Amino acid sequence: MDKELEMKKIMEEIENCRMCELYKTRSNPVVGDGSLSADTMFVGEAPGYWEDQKGKPFVGRAGKVLDELLESVGLKRDEVYITNVVKCRPPNNRDPLPEEIKACSKYLDRQILLIHPRTIVTLGRFALSYIFEKFGLKEEKISKIHGKVFTVSNIFGRFRIIPLYHPAVAVYNQNMKGTLLKDFKSVK
Ligand code: URA
């Protein structure tokens, strides 16, 4: 499979997607960013204001936290892949609706198949719910399982799933930053 070509196709489909209402209010869809042969894929929730403006994931305040976390384990943005469950910004950064997640998740599924990361890191509860269900894992409270490594084998191979708190929780809370920094060691 030509990964670049397939990702280009996914991008074009997302640009023209009308499967939910979010295309009406977004400025730019946010498909994802990083290496198509990444070992580690980060899955967030949905674009916020700056992501919608720039068409790139995690470029606002939560993105700054994510950059620090990546740096703490010596990872660069261009060696991982970063995306979201929902590709278009929900108005006023509200939570994505179940029907929006359902409509959009086929793109994330295709990105996972294409990149075939060894590790999927979920950022926040929406990514946790979606990925855990997808991989047949029993969802538990994030406060209980953050930073733990779950190993799953299926017909596509062996994956490590690591649920983390969303980096936005650390924007104004140094304790949470400490927790995230500690949990990030599992990513390494
Ligand atoms: N929050 C997310 O979940 N994703 C982004 O891309 C930015 C903020």
pLDDT in tens, 140-173: 999 999 999 999 998 888 999 999 999 999 998 9
Domains of the chain and any CATH numbers: 3-184 (3.40.470.10)
CA 90–ligand 1 middle distance (angstroms): 11
Q: Ligand 1 centroid vs 6 CA: distance in angstroms?
A: 23
C-alpha closest to that of 30 among 10, 18, 46: 46
Q: Which residues pair with 121 in a beta bridge?
A: 42, 162
**Which pLDDT score is estimated for 55?**
98
For atom 7 of ligand 1, which residue has the closest CA?
Answer: 58
pLDDT tens-place string over residues 68-109: 999 999 999 999 999 999 999 999 999 999 999 999 999 999
Q: Which residues pair with residue 84 across a beta bridge?
A: 44
Q: Does residue 1 have a pLDDT over 90?
A: no
pLDDT of 134: 95
C-alpha 84 – ligand 1 centre gap (Å) = 7
117: left (phi over 0), alpha (psi -120 to 50) or beta: beta
Q: What pLDDT, in 10s, does the model give residues 117-134?
A: 999 999 999 999 999 999
Contact 50, 129 (CB under 8 A): no
Pocket of ligand 1 (CB under 6 A): 30, 44-48, 51, 57-58, 60, 62, 84
State residue 43's pLDDT score: 98
CA separation for the pair 144, 142 (Å, rounded): 5
